[in-house]
A and B are shown apart, each in its own frame.
Chain A
Amino acid sequence: MNGSNRAIPVWTLHIAVIAALWAAQYVLPDYHHGIIARVMVLACFAMGYNILFGYAGLLSLGHAMFFAAGLYGAGLPIYHFGWHVVPSFAFGIGCGALLALVIGLLALRTTGVAFMIVTLMFAQVGYLMTLWLGEWTRGDEGLTLSHSERIIESASVFIDLTNRDTRYGAAWLLLSVVLLITVVIARSPFGRVLVAIRENEERTRMLGFNTYANKLSAMVISGAISAAAGAAYVLLFGYMGATFAAIQYSILPLLWVLLGGAATTLGPLLGTLLMFYLAELSNDALNAWFPGANLSQIGIVGAALVLLVLFFPKGILGTIRERWLKWLP
């Protein structure tokens, strides 16, 4: 597999990345400060996706439903019932985990292409449901959380999530926790079993592992992390809308993970970061070169997917691991 099991370089690298992201907030200009906060939250989504796709080898085309479960699971109770931030964040994660459990129980009965289509269909049902329950969710238009609804306040603490620096800090904290969870999973016996399932499920079963239970656990963890990203998104940026449940938000984490490198711990973060800036920069540049061509993100996403899958299937960190750094988790 990954050559050796070197603990020191692995942990050093991850702590260094986390530290660098913390330090970045003091040097970044305002505009990039906001982007990086958003990228960190979305990277958590990608990391959740990576657990299922990268490690367990299950290509889901419906992860938007878990992100949206966290988004609405956290946002709607605040908006409609005046819940506080912390319980609704937990509730959002719970919604995602429960949904992942139910979907997993059903969808994991299928394999290969059928699994992709089943998850796609369930996510489509979820998307239609956000439209159908328009009275609660306001569908495409979405809902905005007010300033006062995004404050954690008790006797001793006062945290204002709408504040620029607090928002960065919260996103950073979530990212750090999720990244460390991913590293622990990747290095644990459970993670090794997932990789074994990806490489050869039949053989893993013959060795006495319960592949169904392991895949289901991966699905629930993946769904919970994606939901955590969704819940954090609504709390930090104050907006929830049906677009986050649409098919495009199932494809984006796939793209980010493919670009950064599937089954690498840092790949999702790198992929999200690069893709975000690529879309941002190329959009402006291309529209300047070809005025009136209506170039949008969809074209870049499409071209990136085709090029990646054709010429660069292992992604950036996957290639680096293959060529040089065999110990990368």
Chain B
Amino acid sequence: MSFGPHLLLASLEGLVMAAVLALMALGLSLVFGVMRIVNVAHGEFFMLGAVLAWFFSTMVSGNPALGFLLALALSPLVVGAIAFASERLVLRRLNYNPEATIVATIGLLYILQQAALTFFGPDARPVPPPFNYRVLLPWFGYSGYKLAVIGASLVLLAGTWLVLTRTRIGLVMRATQYDSETAQAFGIPVDRVYAGVFALGAMLAAVAAVLIVPIQQAHYLMGGDPLLLSFIVVIIGGLGSLRGTLVAALIIGLSDGIISMFFSPTLAKMLATLLVAMVLVFRPQGLFGAAAR
């Protein structure tokens, strides 16, 4: 295969990556933006989404599409419920103190990992894609499911965007993000908004995981890499800035896909992480974010 098609393949892989990453990073960014806490357990919500997808897809026999749709509907709900409970039981009691919450979410990360290890086991397990259709490009065939993932992610992103900008719920969330004390004074139940946002963030990670799990198997340690990548995306895009997050997800996803196809993936990850640390040091508002208020 010559360079051109190779690059096209790498870009397509990168786009799939970017699509999933955008969903996951949007969740992280939302939680940070509204609640001002860093959720280190975000990667584990992603992992839970994938692991639950495996459970739900094995519950249904017959057409794999049925099991997949069931997983797509139920596993974000279950993950959302778990996130809601952990917010109520742990984070709220810490008064959202940044240091205490980061320690608590690290603890949560390990607890969820242990739970997955106990109930799911140490093996990686595949989930069949809902359909097997290959798009035959002139140079190579490409999985139709992967293209569908890009589409589904775009729809979900657009949906989240609409909820945030056009609905009352979104208005309440943005008001809380802008100034939680004033929002409270205007009768917004800030406390409940926080719980909802935390659950919503986790659900976005779970949806991303259900979409990716037919491509990449479910495993109890699968949360680490996406967590790091979504940190990178959120930081490059500017902490708490949603538009920046989407742009950054596209850049990081594409460049990760292309770089790791042509260079050593470890080196690529190393340089990206270093670059991001430098961005955080020298330009904390992110490359695309506006200056801090």
Which residues of A are at the interface with B, using a C-beta cutoff of 8 A?
A: 59, 61, 106-107, 109-110, 112-114, 116-118, 121-122, 124-125, 128-129, 131-132, 247, 251, 254, 258, 293-296, 298-299, 301-310, 313
Please tell me if the beta carbons of A106 and B281 are within 8 angstroms of each other in the complex.
yes
Which one of B75-83, B105-113, B153-161, B180-188 contacts A?
A: B105-113
**B179: Cβ under 8 A from any A Cβ:** no
Please tell me if the beta carbons of A254 and B103 are within 8 angstroms of each other in the complex.
yes
A247 to B109, CA, bound (A): 12
Q: Which residues of B contact A308 (CB under 8 A)?
A: 103
Please tell me if the beta carbons of A294 and B38 are within 8 angstroms of each other in the complex.
no
Please tell me if the beta carbons of B100 and A109 are within 8 angstroms of each other in the complex.
no
Give the size of the chain B interface in residues (CB under 8 angstroms). Answer: 44
Please tell me if the beta carbons of B281 and A107 are within 8 angstroms of each other in the complex.
yes
A122 to B108, CA, bound (A): 23
**B258: Cβ under 8 A from any A Cβ:** no
Please tell me if the beta carbons of B114 and A299 are within 8 angstroms of each other in the complex.
yes
Which residues of B are at the interface with A, using a C-beta cutoff of 8 A?
A: 36-38, 90, 93-94, 98-100, 102-104, 106-115, 117-118, 121-122, 224, 228, 231, 235, 264, 266-267, 269-270, 273-274, 276-278, 280-282, 284
Q: Which residues of B contact A247 (CB under 8 A)?
A: 224
A303 to B90, CA, bound (A): 12
Q: Which residues of B contact A125 (CB under 8 A)?
A: 270, 273-274, 277
Please tell me if the beta carbons of B107 and A309 are within 8 angstroms of each other in the complex.
yes
Please tell me if the beta carbons of A299 and B280 are within 8 angstroms of each other in the complex.
no
Given contacts A294-B118, A302-B108, A309-B100, 6 further A-B contacts (CB under 8 A): A106-B277, A121-B273, A125-B274, A132-B266, A305-B104, A309-B103
Closest partner residue, chain A, to B115 (CB atom) = A299
Please tell me if the beta carbons of A302 and B281 are within 8 angstroms of each other in the complex.
no
Please tell me if the beta carbons of A302 and B107 are within 8 angstroms of each other in the complex.
yes
Q: Which residues of B contact A299 (CB under 8 A)?
A: 110-111, 113-115, 117-118
The dominant DSSP class at the B interface is helix
A122, A132, A301: the one within 8 Å of B277 (CB):
A122
Q: Which residues of B contact A59 (CB under 8 A)?
A: 99, 102-103
Please tell me if the beta carbons of A302 and B109 are within 8 angstroms of each other in the complex.
yes
A125 to B107, CA, bound (A): 22
B37, B228, B284: the one within 8 Å of A114 (CB):
B284
Q: Which residues of B contact A131 (CB under 8 A)?
A: 266
Please tell me if the beta carbons of A306 and B107 are within 8 angstroms of each other in the complex.
yes
Please tell me if the beta carbons of B231 and A303 are within 8 angstroms of each other in the complex.
no
A294 to B123, CA, bound (A): 12
A106 to B228, CA, bound (A): 20
Please tell me if the beta carbons of A303 and B277 are within 8 angstroms of each other in the complex.
no
B282 to chain A, nearest CB (A): 8
Please tell me if the beta carbons of B114 and A298 are within 8 angstroms of each other in the complex.
yes
Please tell me if the beta carbons of B114 and A302 are within 8 angstroms of each other in the complex.
yes
Q: Which residues of B contact A301 (CB under 8 A)?
A: 107, 110
Q: Which residues of B contact A258 (CB under 8 A)?
A: 103
A15 to chain B, nearest CB (A): 33
Given contacts A299-B111, A303-B111, A310-B104, contact A129 B281 (CB under 8 A): no
B63 to chain A, nearest CB (A): 33
B101 to chain A, nearest CB (A): 8
Please tell me if the beta carbons of A294 and B121 are within 8 angstroms of each other in the complex.
yes
B90, B273, B278: the one within 8 Å of A128 (CB):
B273
Q: Which residues of B contact A128 (CB under 8 A)?
A: 266, 269-270, 273
A266 to B103, CA, bound (A): 21
A287 to B231, CA, bound (A): 35
Please tell me if the beta carbons of A109 and B281 are within 8 angstroms of each other in the complex.
yes
A47 to B164, CA, bound (A): 46
Please tell me if the beta carbons of B38 and A304 are within 8 angstroms of each other in the complex.
no
A61, A129, A251, A306: the one within 8 Å of B104 (CB):
A306
Q: Which residues of B contact A293 (CB under 8 A)?
A: 118
B222 to chain A, nearest CB (A): 15
19 contacts between A and B (CB under 8 A): A61-B102, A116-B99, A116-B102, A121-B276, A124-B273, A128-B269, A251-B106, A254-B106, A299-B110, A299-B114, A301-B110, A302-B107, A302-B114, A303-B111, A305-B106, A305-B110, A306-B108, A309-B100, A309-B104
Given contacts A121-B277, A251-B106, A298-B114, contact A112 B269 (CB under 8 A): no
Please tell me if the beta carbons of B281 and A310 are within 8 angstroms of each other in the complex.
no
Please tell me if the beta carbons of A113 and B107 are within 8 angstroms of each other in the complex.
no
Q: Which residues of B contact A303 (CB under 8 A)?
A: 107, 110-111
A110 to B282, CA, bound (A): 9
Q: Which residues of B contact A310 (CB under 8 A)?
A: 90, 93-94, 104
Closest partner residue, chain B, to A58 (CB atom) = B99
A121 to B275, CA, bound (A): 10
B9 to chain A, nearest CB (A): 25
A250 to B231, CA, bound (A): 18
Please tell me if the beta carbons of B106 and A295 are within 8 angstroms of each other in the complex.
no
Q: Which residues of A contact B228 (CB under 8 A)?
A: 124
Given contacts A125-B274, A305-B104, A306-B111, contact A116 B121 (CB under 8 A): no
A306 to B112, CA, bound (A): 12
Q: Which residues of B contact A296 (CB under 8 A)?
A: 114, 117
Q: Which residues of B contact A251 (CB under 8 A)?
A: 106
B123 to chain A, nearest CB (A): 11
B94 to chain A, nearest CB (A): 7
